[in-house]
Amino acid sequence: MRNFTPFVEGNMAYDVVHILNRFFSALGEAILMNNGLIYQYVGDEIVPKNVALGFRELGRRHTNYGVSEGHYLLVRKVLVDTLKARLKESYSDRIRLAWERMFDLAFKYMKEGATGKKQARTAPKPTVVV
């Protein structure tokens, strides 16, 4: 929320909490309407988790495609090798790390979806108390 700190400093706690709850409700609704999930509330910030949801579903579908853990590890290596070969002198460790991190994040959630460990959750209630 823009200018949240001066807003808190210049208003009564009761009013800040009231505005925060309205803000979280409106934003939370928009996230849920777009197939998102709310992971947590941090101060004036909402942390959505729609990425996890999408990748879990993708992971479930990949099980049906016959994909197993070993395939992911192989594709991870092939991805890096391909980047290296195609980017040539533009390739760097920074680029490799960024892609590996992205792949590992996708893989983490896809594995959860494939094993059925994590089910979709409902959003936590956006109520702030003082």
What is the binding site for ligand HEM (CB under 6 A)? 58, 61-62, 65, 67, 71-72, 75, 103, 106-107
Least distance in Å: CB of 12 to ligand HEM? 48
Cβ closer to ligand HEM: 75 or 80?
Answer: 75
- Whose CA is closest to 46, among 37, 56, 55? 37
Least distance in Å: CB of 90 to ligand HEM? 22
Report the alpha-carbon distance of residue 80 to residue 84 in Å, rounded: 6
Report the alpha-carbon distance of residue 15 to residue 20 in Å, rounded: 9
Q: Which two tokens stand for residue 73?
A: 């590890």
Least distance in Å: CB of 51 to ligand HEM? 11
